[in-house]
Amino acid sequence: MRFRYLLALLLPFSAMAEEIVLFNGKDLTGWTKSNGKPLEEGWKVEDGVLHRVSGGGDLLTEKEYGDFELTWEWKISEAGNSGIKYRVQSYPGKGMLGFEYQMLDDVKHPDAKNGAIHQTGALYEFYPPAADKKLNPAGQWNTSKIVLRGTHVEHWLNGSKVVDGELAGDVFKAALAKSKFKALTSFGANPKGKIMLQDHGNEVWFKQIVLKTL
């Protein structure tokens, strides 16, 4: 009887979790351009891998997500730059913006010289990654994860947590005041938004993009 009682308590919580394959490895079902229209060029799907080949624009999920665990594999071209943005929404006159998990060739891309908050694994412009992170070089696959619960966020890289921070509070406000988003006082206050694969003008590859709602 005790076991059944505990199971009854746990079932409502487990039923809330949902695992969603955001990229099916075959086509771009579930993804659009920033204007909501289907992608026409620039990104290709080959052998289960999504490849940004040339200019096609950012890719965004059709749906919005709040709290989640997002995992994916990626590799970047030499001197390349990209990222995954989350809780993305439209800011009038500024476009589609959100928090960003930075993906970069830390060795050869010039943005890496602008401080750790611009390097791979960083919460771009806000929190730097751990100094002892394990990053595979350009052209090799990396595994990343974002864990987002309310205003608490974690960034993971190749099995290690590299960012553990808050998206609200005094520390965040101080970081926002120093960032490129400082004029947007409500930046990131939305509890949910779309997920974006960034087209930053360089080749990048993605696979195994899976989201689990929390």
Q: What is the pLDDT of residues 113-150, one digit of tens each?
A: 999 999 999 999 999 999 999 999 999 999 999 999 99
pLDDT at position 200? 95
What domains sit in the chain, N to C, each tagged with a CATH number?
A: 19-213 (2.60.120.560)
Average of per-residue pLDDT values in the chain: 93
DSSP, residue by residue, the chain? -HHHHHHHHHHHHHHH--EEES--SSS-TTEE-TTSPPP-SSEEEETTEEEE-S----EEESS-BSSEEEEEEEEE-TT-EEEEEEEEEEETTTEEEEEEEEEE-TTT-GGGGG-GGGSTTSBTTTBPPPTT---PPTTS-EEEEEEEETTEEEEEETTEEEEEEESSSHHHHHHHHHSTTTT-TTTT--S-BEEEE---SS-EEEEEEEEEE-
**pLDDT of 4 strictly over 70:** no
pTM: 0.91
Q: What is the pLDDT of residues 62-71, one digit of tens each?
A: 999 999 999 9
Residue 202 structure tokens: 């360089």
Residue 114 structure tokens: 């602008």
> In terms of pLDDT, which residue wins out, 14 or 72?
72
pLDDT at position 17? 78
3-state SS string for 13-52? HHHHCCEEECCCCCCCCCEECCCCCCCCCCEEEECCEEEE
Dist CA 8 CA 132 (whole Å): 43
pLDDT at position 8? 47
Section 199-205 average pLDDT: 96
Dist CA 98 CA 190 (whole Å): 9
**pLDDT of 7 strictly over 50:** no
Q: What is the pLDDT of residues 151-190, one digit of tens each?
A: 999 999 999 999 999 999 999 999 999 999 999 989 999 9
